[in-house]
Every structure is written in structure tokens, then in C-alpha cells.
Amino acid sequence: MQYSFILQDNTKKAYRLFAWFLFFFHIVAAGVIGLSTGDKQTKTGLYIFFGLLTAAAIIYSVLRKQKNALDVFSVIMALLCIVFWLRYGGVVAAIIFAAVFLFVLLVQQKKTMVVISTEGVMLKRVFRETKYPWQKLDHVILKDGLLTIDLASNRMIQAELAEENKAVDETEFNRFCKQHLQNNT
């Protein structure tokens, strides 16, 4: 038998702050470029860029109550910033920005999972997997959507389960864990 849970993501605020950081960074970069140039065509392009950034911020403020508003805002910002860097920084700057943005997007989409099986507990994080055999565990308990894994090394992992998990019988799950803990001590 095997139980698999997706853990609640507590990094959404960090991603939102990163998106706003990028937003303000590009406003400052556009301002610096605009102040340092005397070219009328460049200044016109920067005014258009400011207008598009303002439109993106307005769209976000209107849609922010919706579930995917940050995603829409991030994609609009990414497209605007790629065009900005292509125009004013060159292809290399646009590629660097796109690479950073895609990396953050991929990390954001990856979910942290816990798989509890007859072999032990496996924690699948964004960049690595950690396996804990039953011999290295003291307690594994699920109570009211909160999973607690107490390691024999006096470390504890505690996390809320995401809402997207299927309902599980907590009593049966705790019995399963207790049985494997007793068998492996």
C-alpha cells in the first residue's frame, strides 16, 4: 500500500514579490535609459513601454481576485520585458531574462510531494528527493490535514496537505504508519 500527498505551497508570496520586483526593476531600467539618451525615438519607445507596464498593472489590479491573475500578470510582464531587453539591451539580455523567468516559472509549477509506502517516507521537493526508511522515523501522524513526520534524529517535518489531495481515512493511515514503525524498530 502507498499513500501520496501534495503539500501546501507556502511560496506563493515569494513568487508574487519576485514578479513585482521585476516590474519595478524594469521601470527603473527604462527610466535610466530614458534619462541617459537624447534620442527622440528611444524616448518615444520608452513612453510606450511605460504605458504598457501601466496597462499590465491595471489589468492585474482588476483581475487580482481571480485565481490565475498573478500568472496572467507574470506572462504579460515577461513578454513586455523580453521586448524591452531586445530593443534596449540586446539579444543576450533578452535571453538571460527569458532563462531566469522560465526557471522561476518551472520552479513555481513543481509541487512538493510526500510518498509514504512500505519502504518508508520519500519527500519529493523541487530540486531533490529525500528518502527516510522506517528505521529512521519515530512517528508519522496525519491529523486534520497536518502531516507530522518525526525523525529519529530529533528533527521534525510538519506540513499542511494541499486542498487538491484526495480524502484519506486518517485513522487507517495512522494505523498503517504505526504498524510499519513497530515492525522496523
| pLDDT score recorded for residue 129 | 92
Task: Dump pLDDT digits (tens) for 115-154.
Answer: 999 999 999 988 889 999 999 999 899 998 899 999 988 8
CA 91 to each of CA 37, 150, 158, 182: distance values in angstroms, whole numbers, following the listed order: 20, 50, 45, 60
Grid cell locating 60:
492585474
Asked if the model's pLDDT at residue 12 lies above 90, the reply is: no
| Tens digits of residue pLDDT in 15-30 | 778 777 877 887 787 7
- The mean predicted confidence, pLDDT, of the chain is 85
CA distances from 85 to 82, 106, 124, 137, 156 (A): 5, 21, 36, 51, 45
DSSP code of 169?
-
Give the C-alpha separation, 106 to 113, whole Å. 16
pLDDT of residue 123: 92
Residues 162-180: tens digit of each pLDDT: 888 888 889 999 999 899 8
Query: Average pLDDT in the 107-112 region?
Result: 82
Taking the domains of the chain in order of start, what are their residue ranges? 12-109, 112-183
Q: What dotted CATH number matches 112-183?
A: 2.30.29
Q: Give tens-digit pLDDT for 35-56.
A: 787 788 888 888 888 888 888 8
For the chain, what percentages of helix, strand and coil (3-state, to nearest 5) are there? 55, 20, 20
Rounded to an integer, the average pLDDT of 78-97 is 85
Q: How many CB atoms lie within 10 A of CB 162?
A: 15
